[in-house]
Structure 1
Amino acid sequence: MKQMEGIQLFEEKKVRTIWDQEEEKWYFSIVDIISVLTESIDSSAYWRKLKQRLKAEGNETVTNCHGLKMKAADGKMRMTDVADTEQVFRLIQSIPSSKAEPFKLWLSQVASERLDEMQDPELSIDRALEQYLNLGYSESWINQRIKSIEIRKELTNEWKNRGLKEGVQFATLTDIISKAWSGKTTKEYKILKGLKKENLRDNMTNTELILNMLAEASTTDISKATTPESFEDNMIVAQQGGNVAKVAMKELESKTGKKVITSLNAKDVLQQKSIDKNLDNK
């Protein structure tokens, strides 16, 4: 089952979701929905009591709900009771709330938008732009980030064409590229920036992101030109692609006198921008 985890916002409150690509349906965290509708201090306790009552009544909504791993508040992946769109609609009927009707409209919109995106990928890009803007990223950084997604996709497609497998092989080649240009594996890079589950690219500066794009685009171009056959051949190509970006980085550092690789993450950068903005307004 191919899944894509995400967070949807209803009236600025987070609802954890998972999109199942094979079933083509959303799954929603039930406790998050209860938190939105009831404003309960302990939505987990509310759900336990509601579940007991519904089971006693023979309500199939609870019986058919199942658990999926979702990121909890502490950053760890934990089993969470989820429901698809149809189940959520039925569940709402058991929860007295003044927000029931607007939530139903929101739920319908979420389901519709995802299906629309499958028909028109540009809509997905537009939503990504909007989400990054809401998080406080600059437009120039967002444009680079969207481009980096395209370049990464081209690279992984090239690897697939070479008969490589997602998972260990993709991760190994990615680490080789990263180590070649930045001197750090993906894990080492994330440790430097104080990251855990967060996406590394979302926490790169503009320059870091551009150089990473150069490394991956170069790897794709070299692969197409040399047509590596074995995994070992692809490892050599990954090293060569990373080295292209390394040369560019060293040249830039020699001109600016500043190191490109930094421990700054997105949170640090956005906080500093907020501070600078407040100072400018005084």
Structure 2
Amino acid sequence: MKIFPTEFDGQTIRRVYDEATEIWWFSVIDVVQVLTESTYANRYWSDLKRKLAQEAGSEQPYEKIVRLKLTAPDGKQRDTDCATAETLLRLVQSVPSPKAEPIKRWLAKVGYERMQELADPALSLDRARQTWQQHGRSDKWIAQRMTGQETRNKLTDYWRDHDIKEGSEFAILTNIIHQEWSGVSVNEHKDMKGLKSQNLRDHMSEAELIFTALAELSTRQISESVDATGLPQNKTAAKAGGRIAAQARNQLENQTGKSVVTGESFLPPTAKKTVKKLPKA
């Protein structure tokens, strides 16, 4: 996941973009803080959750509230209630505040920007390029990252058109492809690199990006060749596509004597921790 702190009326609202599920998640407590202008936003949100649960007859007021690790003001990663823009719009209606309408417009703007990016993916890539340049990535790395993202977008477009649900099923297929070509799951690869909430692809080496793109390209072309529809058929295509990239990876590793999948990342030295090594096959 990629974290994007942003400002609303001078206050920070943390938001996270999950590329695997292609969903924006916003920190609920940050939005409540803006709405209430209270130093006790946590208590307010706790009371509101209890009230909403009682009204709904359920322990959780809305099904799309999840706990994600976000950077707290003290710099530590903490589990934080997060919600989609749609869910937040419903929550905002439960909080009497003069800022309710402005924040609704802000959330709508975020949604509109995402719709623009879906209609014209170049907008998303341009924003991403600027971010990577600011983080010191080389032009060569950025070119490979963008090529891989275009490949990814074509694959997810195919999935949407062939009865694959965004969110959980996207994540399932993504993990199958990754496991097949790399020998580790997405989460295991992130652990190797010492990543927490960071997006794995933003910390891949050039070789890791290339093999990820090959696996996803192969998966899409195999899917298209058999008109794979629904999760079971696309699981089969994902495994086949991943195995093609795995064969190429093994050949390269046999020639170079070096592992393609590594624990290296772009984390600053102070943020790095001891990473796990990939077990030998």
- Bucket of the pairwise TM-score, normalised by the shorter protein: 0.5 to 0.7
Post-superposition CA distance 1:134-158 (Å, at most 9, x none): 1222222122222222211211221
Shift of 1:116: 6.7
Matches within 5 A, 1:1-282: 6-8=4-6, 16-17=14-15, 29=30, 45=39, 72=70, 73=72, 74-79=76-81, 118-119=115-116, 121=120, 122-267=122-267
Unaligned runs of 5+ in 2: 18-25, 45-64, 83-87, 93-97, 100-104, 273-281
Q: Which amino acid aligns with 2:166?
A: E
TM-score by structure 1 length? 0.61
Whole-Å separation in 1 of the counterparts to 2:107 and 2:229: 43
Whole-Å separation in 2 of the counterparts to 1:171 and 1:233: 15
Q: In angstroms, what is the RMSD of aligned CA positions?
A: 4.5
Q: Which amino acid aligns with 2:173?
A: L
CA, structure 1 residues 46+182, in 2 after alignment: closer, same or farther (shift >3 Å)?
same
Higher relative contact order (CA 8 A, sep 6+): 2
Whole-Å separation in 2 of the counterparts to 1:271 and 1:196: 10
CA, structure 1 residues 228+251, in 2 after alignment: closer, same or farther (shift >3 Å)?
same
CA contact (8 A) 2:223 2:234 kept: yes
CA, structure 1 residues 118+171, in 2 after alignment: closer, same or farther (shift >3 Å)?
closer
Whole-Å separation in 2 of the counterparts to 1:168 and 1:118: 21
User: Quick check: 240-249 or 115-124, which moved more?
Assistant: 115-124
Q: Which amino acid aligns with 1:16?
A: R
Unaligned runs of 5+ in 1: 20-25, 34-42, 52-67, 85-89, 92-107, 273-282
Whole-Å separation in 1 of the counterparts to 2:270 and 2:220: 32
* 3-state secondary structure, aligned to 1:266: coil
Q: Which amino acid aligns with 2:165?
A: K
Whole-Å separation in 2 of the counterparts to 1:156 and 1:264: 27
% identity of equivalent residues: 34
CA, structure 1 residues 196+173, in 2 after alignment: closer, same or farther (shift >3 Å)?
same
CA contact (8 A) 2:13 2:27 kept: no
CA contact (8 A) 1:137 1:270 kept: no
CA contact (8 A) 2:27 2:81 kept: no
CA contact (8 A) 1:116 1:123 kept: no
Whole-Å separation in 1 of the counterparts to 2:194 and 2:38: 30
CA, structure 1 residues 123+32, in 2 after alignment: closer, same or farther (shift >3 Å)?
farther
CA, structure 1 residues 255+269, in 2 after alignment: closer, same or farther (shift >3 Å)?
farther
